């Protein structure tokens, strides 16, 4: 017979397996946020996207996922209700893991990009109502999240349409688009690194320089006073300059190589590239920008959204350790972050192709220029929402951005049937997750009492 410690270990192991299952489904579904447009525009193959996203999602989750908000673990419920009955909350969180895993797997199998955070919120609300009545739910939080369903895709779509209109007007539709591309490369580099740098670099600098004591050491030894925001700006500026110089060099070398190829085949006797070649060269350059932007999105997604899978497990582990409801010292342990990162990679590798294909190919046919604008708009929307403390869905932002590009590029080619399927999945996520959470909690509570 196992002693009590062995039983506790087995119980926690079972909960960890559930969290791994949820993380795998999250990885299969949500990673389309970062890689769907890159695959759809042919900037990356599906295999390359899975490898790149796997590495960066795991790195972001493990290295920078410890800042996960408490909202998903405790903010949706009324803490006063569950503070006196933490074991009920524990059973509820187990129900949340099972409910979210089931719904995310159903959505992923159908290639539908849904919001994992909304699934978690719905499941928590569902079990809370059954456990302690409707007053156990913070309905203001639910209302705010619901409003972002409408605002996020609209805002992201508008930004994507604005960005793509600018690229189309100032570069693609110009008589000499190659010359325009050379002029705009510095601005595109600065825009991309400004948006993604603000998302990623503050966390990187905080962990690499502040928490390790490097900045304090530099101040003690050399008297340097290095504000972290200045370091972030400096790194971003250097990155923009390096990217600009490298892009100019690549554009020039590819242009010469393609020009020699056309001459050798007798296609052109002019020194300047043909219009088709100009377009190809521009899209090749845009593909490089898009791949880099996808990498930043994957890293930041791993660091931010891993909490959707592991926050319930962290709450369970906290209750098992302390016997009380998660309080102000609640945090996500490193081993749970590693578990979540591993689950994301596993799910991405096994099932990720379905949702990636939907976002990247089944809404509208994308080229790298459009894909880059969609990802830039997605990151900008999520960043602005984070600045105002608004919980948004990256899935909603990306789908809205892809549609925004499609409306400017060729609105008649936007596949409405795909959008209807995605929209339906968005609308039913919270009620389905709530129903699953309530049902599973009821069954689990009956089993415990029995």
Whether the per-residue pLDDT at 151 is higher than 90: the answer is no
Whether 404 contacts 374, CB under 8 Å? yes
Whether the per-residue pLDDT at 266 is higher than 70: the answer is no
Position 4 confidence tier, pLDDT thresholds 50, 70, 90: low
What per-residue confidence (pLDDT) applies to 450? Answer: 62
Crossing angle of helices 368-387 and 177-205, in 10° steps, is 40
DSSP state of 72: I
Crossing angle of helices 116-132 and 416-449, in 10° steps, is 40
The beta-carbon contacts of 326-331 under 8 Å, at least 24 apart in sequence, are: 326/70, 326/73, 326/74, 330/70, 330/73, 330/74, 331/66
Q: Enumerate the H helices of 133-176 as residue ranges.
A: 139-167
Position 269 confidence tier, pLDDT thresholds 50, 70, 90: very low
Instruction: Report pTM.
Output: 0.77
Whether the per-residue pLDDT at 416 is higher than 70: the answer is yes
The 3-state DSSP class for residue 223 equals coil
Which residues does residue 137 pair with via DSSP β-bridges, in sequence order? 77
Percent of the chain with pLDDT over 90: 10
The beta-carbon contacts of 439-445 under 8 Å, at least 24 apart in sequence, are: 439/126, 440/95, 440/98, 440/99, 440/127, 441/91, 441/92, 441/95, 441/126, 441/127, 441/130, 441/131, 442/130, 444/91, 444/94, 444/95, 445/88, 445/91, 445/131
Compute the distance between CA of residue 233 and CA of residue 244 in angstroms, rounded to an integer.
16
């Amino acid at each position: 017979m196992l002693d009590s410690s062995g039983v506790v270990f087995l119980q926690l192991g079972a909960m960890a397996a559930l969290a791994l299952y949820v993380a795998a489904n999250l990885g299969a579904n949500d990673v389309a946020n970062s890689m769907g447009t890159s695959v759809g525009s042919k900037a990356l193959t599906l295999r390359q996207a899975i490898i790149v996203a796997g590495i960066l999602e795991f790195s972001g989750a493990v290295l920078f996922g410890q800042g996960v908000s408490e909202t998903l673990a405790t903010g949706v419920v009324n803490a006063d209700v569950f503070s006196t009955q933490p074991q009920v909350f524990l059973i509820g969180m187990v129900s949340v893991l099972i409910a979210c895993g089931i719904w995310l797997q159903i959505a992923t199998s159908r290639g539908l990009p849904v919001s994992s955070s909304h699934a978690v919120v719905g499941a928590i609300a569902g079990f809370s109502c059954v456990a302690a009545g409707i007053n156990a739910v913070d309905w203001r939080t639910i209302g705010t999240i619901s409003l972002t369903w409408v605002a996020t895709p609209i805002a992201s779509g508008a930004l994507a349409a604005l960005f793509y209109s600018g690229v189309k007007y100032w570069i693609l539709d110009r008589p000499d688009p190659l010359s325009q591309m050379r002029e705009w490369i510095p601005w595109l580099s600065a825009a991309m690194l400004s948006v993604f740098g603000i998302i990623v670099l503050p966390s990187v600098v905080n962990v690499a320089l502040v928490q390790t004591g490097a900045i304090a050491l530099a101040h003690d030894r050399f008297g340097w006073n290095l504000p972290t925001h200045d370091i972030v700006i400096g790194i971003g500026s250097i990155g923009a300059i390096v990217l600009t110089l490298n892009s100019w060099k690549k554009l020039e070398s590819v242009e010469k190589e393609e020009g020699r190829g056309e001459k050798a085949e007798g296609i052109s006797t002019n020194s300047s590239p043909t219009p088709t070649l100009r377009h190809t060269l521009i899209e090749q350059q845009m593909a490089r920008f898009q791949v880099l932007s996808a990498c930043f999105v994957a890293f930041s997604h791993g660091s931010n959204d891993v909490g959707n899978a592991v926050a319930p497990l962290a709450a369970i582990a906290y209750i098992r350790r302390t016997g009380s409801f998660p309080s102000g010292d609640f945090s996500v342990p490193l081993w749970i972050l590693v578990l979540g990162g591993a689950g994301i990679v596993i799910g991405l590798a096994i099932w990720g192709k379905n949702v990636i294909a939907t976002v990247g190919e089944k809404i509208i046919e994308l080229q790298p220029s459009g894909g880059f604008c969609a990802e830039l708009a997605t990151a900008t929307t999520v960043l602005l929402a984070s600045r105002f403390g608004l919980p948004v869905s990256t899935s909603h932002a990306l789908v809205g951005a892809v549609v925004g590009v499609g409306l400017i590029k060729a609105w008649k080619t936007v596949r409405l049937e795909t959008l209807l399927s995605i929209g339906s999945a968005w609308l039913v996520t919270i009620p389905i997750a709530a129903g699953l959470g309530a049902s599973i909690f009821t069954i689990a509570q009956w089993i415990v009492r029995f």
